[in-house]
Structure 1
Amino acid sequence: MQQVQAKDLYTIKVLGQPQATSDRVFYEETRIDEATQQYLTAIYAIMTNSHKRVRYGTNGQHDEQPRVNQNGSWLAFLALDAADTKQVFLQAITGGAARQFTTSSFGVTDFAWTADGTAILYTETRHPERPKKLHPARYTRSEYRFNGQGYFAEDETFYLMAQDLGAAKPTEYLQRDFDFKLQAVSPDGHWVALSTAADPLDINNPATNNFLFDLTNQQSIQIHTHCPRGAFTAESFSPDGQQLLFSGEPDDVPTDLRSCLFSYTVADGKFALAQQDDDQEIGSAIAADMQQNLSGRAAIFATDGQAYALVCKHGAVELCRGTELTPVLAEKIEITDFDVANDGKTAFVTYSTPVSPSRLMVLNLTTGAHDDLYNPNADYEQSHSIVDPQAFSFERDGYRLQGWYYAPAESLDIHPAVLYVHGGPHAAYGYSFFHELQVMASQGYGVITLNPRGSSSYGNAFKTAVIQHYGEGDYDDLLAAVDYAQTLDQTIDAQRVYLTGGSYGGFISNWAETHTNRFKAIATSRSIANWTSMLGTSDIGSSFTPRELSAQFEADLNDQATLWRFSPLAYVAHANTPILILHGEEDYRCPIEQGEQFYMALKQRGVETEMLRFPKSNHELSRSGLPALRIDRMQAITDWFERHE
């Protein structure tokens, strides 16, 4: 058996965005090409009776978002035109070559079929011709950049367009000065659900403005959510067009981090909670590093009027039904994407497990019976020593804490171990394939993971227990996980235990650097060291910092006592452990100045410290960054630990 290696990024494939028809299911398949260093996505269909697999799309490189019209005659998808601009392409379901449909000179950002399947709705972003010479960029808005998107231009205008299948030119429906999202189309063809920021100029208001746009008279109707700070996404209209499902966060108080399902009644404008237990978490918050190009769908109405939603629970993602959120598929897996067929009885699910990166499943919604349709990594799984982690839990400080331990891929008498800390902090490890953890286990490390207080999938009280308490109970939870892992595997060498993590996990790594000598070496990625500068330089600093540290909606820069109290930089005089600092130069979530400050302070203290800067890399480096740099990053961490055995 072969060991899992960092370069296996080029071998593993992942699936997403299933789209069901009466006799087949379309889906995306994404792989990474080593020669071009690109993430390549192709569209396939599997016939539900014969299981025959057929490729659709253009060249199988940048085809994405398969969408079938209502009568099942046409497949629409996004692909690049000759000028490398995203356009909608059409292809007959019966086969034949795909053809370019839209010709937007600015490119299509999102699209949907009209209800009768005879036209495409799409959005585009226009801007005036810009000078090619270097010039200063002027910013007047508080949100002027965002991680992974770069700096925002303030001369853009946003449009909703429609183009009939038989028309040569599109029709302009809606124009706005601020970005808006195309989210759902009613089955009667009357309404389009759209959303935009409630007040794009208010730095302290994260709420969405959700509204219906009438395609007939081109008027908008405001959806009153009665949640002044709530952020909501329209997921799906009911078959009769009278109900609209939403997922989102009501955000009533700073310690309300619930992610819930809501319904909106078109006739009377009533917006209400659509789940009986509002502590069940809608969507997925699982931390992993392989999934790509997912739809983000959290809920859907089936043709029989039944609602289905994804629920994140104790490290797994389940498919549930109705307001009771009754589990239909509740196994130790992460459901990554799904769709319900027109018969209302069958669902198609892409999912991951700790030992399988990605599979496509067919699910009987009546009986719960299910079967795999396709596993793109079957050969890989059979030929590699993939570690099935041991789930564990223990009681501490009034909480039941859950984690997973990856033993070394090869049995060793005495071996090192590494504690991994996820980001967020409101994310979660779980029942999903995590390539980097497998790489570490293949190199002889026992890998310890834990969902400390603050993690998702255990209810709002657990999720918010870290607020105002960073580096306290959460940090102690993680140290306790190291102790517990040593009872599970008594061959762990207690003198060779290492620590690494990114984002919030980077904060914890920096906190441990300045609060304990327990770890042999530390590698901290995209970390937080100084909350004062984090507040002013992070793309979410002005909202995230006050909520997490002070349980407040608005920041108070004068409260330096709190900001400094939770800053690892404040305790750098106690640092001794050799530490590697890894940071992306285009990280706007935890800007590189965080790593730079920590690096210089440690150097001044004489602590053994190195910094690794990753060009053209943002906060998502380890998940969707340049593939060669993802591999360099993994190798750098193991090299650092090996240097400090």
Structure 2
Amino acid sequence: MKIMDAEKAYSIRLAGEIVTEGDKTFFTEKYIKGTKYSSNIYSIVSKNIMQVTNGGAEKMPFYKDGVLYYIKYSEETETLMKLKSLSEPEIICTFYKIKKYLISEHGIFVIALEKTDDSKPFATTRIKYRFNGRGLLRSKYSLYAVDKAPHKIYSGDFDVEDIQCNNSRFIIQTTEESDDDGMSNLYEINKDGNKIKKITGKPGVIHGYSISDKGRIAVSMHENLNPWEVNRIAYPEEGKYLLVGKDSNDSILTDLFFTPSYKMKYNGDVLYAIAQEGSSSSIYAIEGEKVTKRTEVRGKLIDFDVAGVSGKEKISYIYSTPEHPSMVVNGDSYNINEEVAGIAPYVEGMDNGEYFFMLKDPAAPTLVFIHGGPQTAYGYLYYIEFQYFYQNGYNILYTNPPGSTGYGQPYEEECVGDWGNKDFEYIKKAMKSVMEKYKVVDNFAVTGGSYGGFMTNWIVTHSNIFKCGISERSISNMLSMVGTSDIGYWFNTLQLKITDPYSAEGIKKLMEYSPISYIKNVKTPVMLITGEEDYRCPIEQAEQFYVALKLNNVDAELVRYPGDNHEHARSGVPENMKDRLTRKLAWFDKYLKN
């Protein structure tokens, strides 16, 4: 009997995009209403939470000089609005998509995407011509200045990704030197968009940056394309680097449908940044060479802001724990899901990593979840899917095996060049541990998405220890992925340490690490789930594996979700996400409970 249905699983409300100025704090609250996502902006004043907007389509608040700015959105447009106390909201400008806006003494600046005609033929000479979540790259994000009307001041055949200023220096982040690989640089420009100088050296992977009042620039980054590089705080104009936590970024994955991008911010001369240690992340204050952890929450820091003079600064933040999906802290703590009480896992350190176990009953079947990446990590936070399956009668085991972030550089590199082996051994060791320690029965299924989908495919082609598997947005053929994935042409070669993917040696190794090469070994029933607009692990990967399973008389099912991309399990079409949980539960019940 189903204890929790998918509708209830996705009934939570999530906070993000928190901003603090003076005695006022604003944040966005996102939720699913009917068949769509909705969001409103709330304020916290004198310990009272009040709803500021009520259109169900407002996000990205910013407060300055008594004026609240925000984005009002629809499927067709996004509009920058401003709201003064006791007045009606005013329209500033409208674009197709707004990535970032900046309110400064020198004016208003917006990074936006133009609407294109998708019915027209598309031609390209670029190797990166489409991207997950964006489709064919018919247009790129440009920087606009907004006077009486917006006018473009910085653009090209690349993306402008961010803009920051301290009212004297304007620093932008663009992909103009390495757009195909998605790496970026920082440049200083003037308010008219004229380039003054380049700030960073060679292109790198930049997660965020900030400028102090005195003009000091700090960047969370690593300076090459390798996904397994630990991130540091770089001071590019000084040639200095500082490691904060175990990784000066936060790559703990979630299935929460609202998780803002990475955050770092100067307040005076003190830099505040989120960094990761194992399965938790925290806010750190960096002053000179001194690093101080400013939050002691065991969980994932979702977003934060800081304001006020040094010594009396106010940090407001949002975090998630297994018990509470979304907590807002603004001096006091606010639980915006009072009716939700999640189950916390047991956490066990093992071989430099960690595993997590939610014990429903020793006699219950156990679901083994494998994270994507591989350079990401599961965290100590609320997972919608884990809570759903736990409430419906399953033990839940999830691990951070070799390759996971947050445990140091050597651990993060351990799976590079050898996908599927050390991490599978780690998973089997965790399974043995929970059977011995918690006396659970040997009745397991395996599932995972992206790299976790690859691992699911790899495991069923190399063992028969699971009763069934569910492989999502997966990889089955490393060779065909090179030419069909938006990142496959560089990602596959780096991860398998191949110089040329189309050399005889490159093809041989790509196929050696392709689960499709071992399809004759499969006896395990497998469901394959994918979004039809997934350009990261394209749908052809699931199609190949599904057809091969059927031709070899293995029980298999293919589930395709129209309108969904690689994020289908995290921020996909709401009705599809609910359907997905229901289908997965039926598949597991079929093989583990009947």
TM-score by length of 1: 0.86
Give the CA deviation at 1:182. Answer: 3.0
Give the CA deviation at 1:258. Answer: 1.6
2:275 to 306, 311, 314: 311
The answer for the alignment partner of 2:102 in structure 1 is 112
What amino acid maps onto 1:78 in structure 2? I
The answer for the alignment partner of 1:435 in structure 2 is 384
Write the distance in 2 (CA, Å) between the matches of 1:200 and 1:400: 35
Question: Alpha-carbon deviations, 1:402-433, whole Å to 9, x = none?
Answer: 0110112xxx4621111110111111111110
Write the distance in 1 (CA, Å) between the matches of 2:266 and 2:245: 21
The answer for the alignment partner of 2:134 in structure 1 is 149
* Residue correspondence of structure 1 range 159-308 to structure 2 within 5 A: 159-163=143-147, 168-170=148-150, 172-186=152-166, 189-200=167-178, 203=180, 205-215=181-191, 218-226=193-201, 228-240=202-214, 242-251=215-224, 254=226, 257-264=229-236, 269-273=237-241, 275=242, 277=243, 280-292=246-258, 294=260, 296-303=261-268, 305-308=269-272
Identity of aligned residues (%): 26
SS of the equivalent of 1:387 reads: coil
> Retained in 2: the 8 A contact 1:91–1:99?
yes
Write the distance in 2 (CA, Å) between the matches of 1:446 and 1:513: 20
Write the distance in 2 (CA, Å) between the matches of 1:439 and 1:357: 13
Are residues 644 and 470 of structure 1, via their aligned partners in 2, closer, same or farther at CA, if it must alter by over 3 Å?
same
Write the distance in 1 (CA, Å) between the matches of 2:526 and 2:228: 35
Write the distance in 1 (CA, Å) between the matches of 2:348 and 2:325: 22
> Retained in 1: the 8 A contact 2:157–2:176?
no
Write the distance in 1 (CA, Å) between the matches of 2:174 and 2:364: 52
The answer for the alignment partner of 1:54 in structure 2 is 50
Question: Alpha-carbon deviations, 1:438-490, whole Å to 9, x = none?
Answer: 11111111100110000011111111111011111111111111111112321
* Residue correspondence of structure 1 range 339-350 to structure 2 within 5 A: 339-344=305-310, 345-350=313-318
Are residues 232 and 489 of structure 1, via their aligned partners in 2, closer, same or farther at CA, if it must alter by over 3 Å?
same
Are residues 291 and 632 of structure 1, via their aligned partners in 2, closer, same or farther at CA, if it must alter by over 3 Å?
closer
Write the distance in 2 (CA, Å) between the matches of 1:442 and 1:207: 42
Are residues 91 and 608 of structure 1, via their aligned partners in 2, closer, same or farther at CA, if it must alter by over 3 Å?
same
* Residue correspondence of structure 1 range 549-568 to structure 2 within 5 A: 549-550=496-497, 555-558=501-504, 559-568=506-515
Give the CA deviation at 1:561. Answer: 1.3
What amino acid maps onto 1:8 in structure 2? K
Give the CA deviation at 1:84. Answer: 4.3
1:73 to 47, 50, 66: 66
SS of the equivalent of 1:635 reads: helix
The answer for the alignment partner of 1:629 in structure 2 is 576
Question: Alpha-carbon deviations, 1:90-142, whole Å to 9, x = none?
Answer: 011x34332212245x554421111x3x73211334478x5x8x542212211
SS of the equivalent of 1:462 reads: helix
* Residue correspondence of structure 1 range 70-149 to structure 2 within 5 A: 72-80=65-73, 84-92=76-84, 94-104=85-95, 106=96, 108-114=98-104, 116=105, 119-126=107-114, 130=117, 134-149=119-134
The answer for the alignment partner of 2:456 in structure 1 is 509
Write the distance in 1 (CA, Å) between the matches of 2:474 and 2:271: 40
> Retained in 1: the 8 A contact 2:162–2:174?
no
> Retained in 2: the 8 A contact 1:255–1:551?
no
> Retained in 1: the 8 A contact 2:144–2:150?
no
* Aligned-pair Cα RMSD in Å: 2.3
Give the CA deviation at 1:175. Answer: 4.1
Question: Alpha-carbon deviations, 1:188-222, whole Å to 9, x = none?
Answer: x2222112114356x4x44313101112x653133
Q: Runs of 5+ in structure 2 lacking a partner?
A: none
Write the distance in 1 (CA, Å) between the matches of 2:426 and 2:432: 10
> Retained in 2: the 8 A contact 1:287–1:430?
yes
Are residues 157 and 504 of structure 1, via their aligned partners in 2, closer, same or farther at CA, if it must alter by over 3 Å?
closer
What amino acid maps onto 2:558 in structure 1? M
Write the distance in 1 (CA, Å) between the matches of 2:446 and 2:97: 44
What amino acid maps onto 2:584 in structure 1? I
1:598 aligns with 2:545: yes
1:352 aligns with 2:324: no
Q: Kindly report structure 1 stretches of 4+ aligned residues shifted beyond 6 Å.
A: none
The answer for the alignment partner of 1:361 in structure 2 is 329
Are residues 324 and 510 of structure 1, via their aligned partners in 2, closer, same or farther at CA, if it must alter by over 3 Å?
farther
TM-score by length of 2: 0.93
> Retained in 1: the 8 A contact 2:177–2:203?
no
Q: Runs of 5+ in structure 1 lacking a partner?
A: 364-370
Write the distance in 1 (CA, Å) between the matches of 2:336 and 2:485: 38
Give the CA deviation at 1:493. Answer: 2.1
What amino acid maps onto 2:206 in structure 1? F
Give the CA deviation at 1:56. Answer: 2.1
SS of the equivalent of 1:529 reads: coil
What is the number of residues matched between the two proteins? 586
Question: Alpha-carbon deviations, 1:277-303, whole Å to 9, x = none?
Answer: 477312221122114151x24321113
What amino acid maps onto 1:590 in structure 2? C
